[in-house]
Amino acid sequence: MTSQQLTQEIKNKKSFLCIGLDVDLNKIPQHLLVTEDPIFEFNKAIIDATHDLAVAYKPNTAFYEAYGIKGWISLEKTINYLNQKHPEIFTIADAKRGDIGNTSSMYAKAFLEDLAFDSVTVAPYMGKDSVEPFLAVKDKFTILLALTSNEGAFDFQTKSVEGKELYKQVIETSRTWKNAENLMYVVGATKAEYFTEIRKIIPDSFLLVPGVGAQGGSLSEVCKYGISENIGLLINSSRGIIYASAENDFAEKAREEAMKIQKEMASILN
């Protein structure tokens, strides 16, 4: 998928919602636990109920790895289901990987080629040669951690590096890397005032924005400072949607929550 296609899809659906598929067996409806693959059954029901309201889905790999091999099978089934049934959906492996060059190539193969996600999140700490192997994969996107939504973002990311905050250094430096056009960035909604500064460096890049909902970020604030001509935003919500109910009506309630956000997005886009 190209970023132009993603923008078109956003316009079609009047939505730039990304749904985080962070499945915790302690939080899903109990009746699913008797099925062969509760995680996949849960994801499938959520996707079936919300796919016309969201443009992207984002499984966080930690929640699958926590269940070992069973979890990886659920992840594989989930991405296959998305790719087969909804090829227009943008998929994100929220893996936050990053390693020396030959090792990053292995991760790029795993997530962008074998599992065939459209994109993968990557940590910038190890620099250029740890990120470029991801960027080298054609027609795929690397979503670099810039300014995250958690408290710990203030430990290093906002510290001044040679007169400029580290997250800005990361963004600026990354623009010089090979195939930088394949970059998107993670910018937390909990720090809406930073979007103005970020848009000065990357006016058009897509930003994946976690932190709306459970973490306290505001959709309207993020859009006020972060929206670009090509929209350029993917707003993620995980817990607020997928755990709206833990009863038999979980998918229906998830749809209601997704629709609330989609309606707000539609009014912003108009």
What is the binding site for a copy of itself (CB under 8 A)?
A: 22, 60, 62-63, 65-66, 68-69, 72-73, 76, 94, 96-101, 103-104, 106-107, 109-110, 114-115, 123-131, 145, 148-157, 159-162, 166, 169-170, 173, 210
Whichever of 6 and 166 has its CB closer to a copy of itself, that residue is 166
Q: Is there a catalytic annotation at residue 200?
A: no
CA dist 196 and 203 (Å) reads 9
Residue nearer to a copy of itself on the CB measure, 116 or 259: 116
d(CA 257, CA 161): 40
Catalytic residue among 11, 14, 44, 96: 96
Torsions phi, psi of 34, nearest 5? -85, -10
DSSP for residue 217: B
Task: Work out the number of other CB atoms within 10 angstroms of the CB of residue 214.
Answer: 15
Closer residue to a copy of itself (CB): 103 or 245: 103
Amino acid in position 41: E
| CB-nearer residue toward a copy of itself: 12 or 66 | 66
Task: Compute the distance between CA of residue 190 and CA of residue 225 in angstroms, rounded to an integer.
Answer: 13
Q: What is the smallest separation between the CB atom of 139 and a copy of itself, expressed in angstroms? A: 20
The span from the first CA to the last CA of the chain, in angstroms, equals 25
Burial (CB < 10 A; 0-12, 13-18, 19+), residue 118, is buried
Q: Which SS3 state, helix, strand or coil, does residue 65 take?
A: helix
Q: Is 90 helix (H, G, I), strand (E, B) or coil?
A: strand
Q: Which is nearer to a copy of itself, 85 or 159 (CB)?
A: 159
Query: CA 242, CA 257: separation in Å to the nearest integer?
Result: 9
**Which residues does the annotation mark as catalytic?**
96
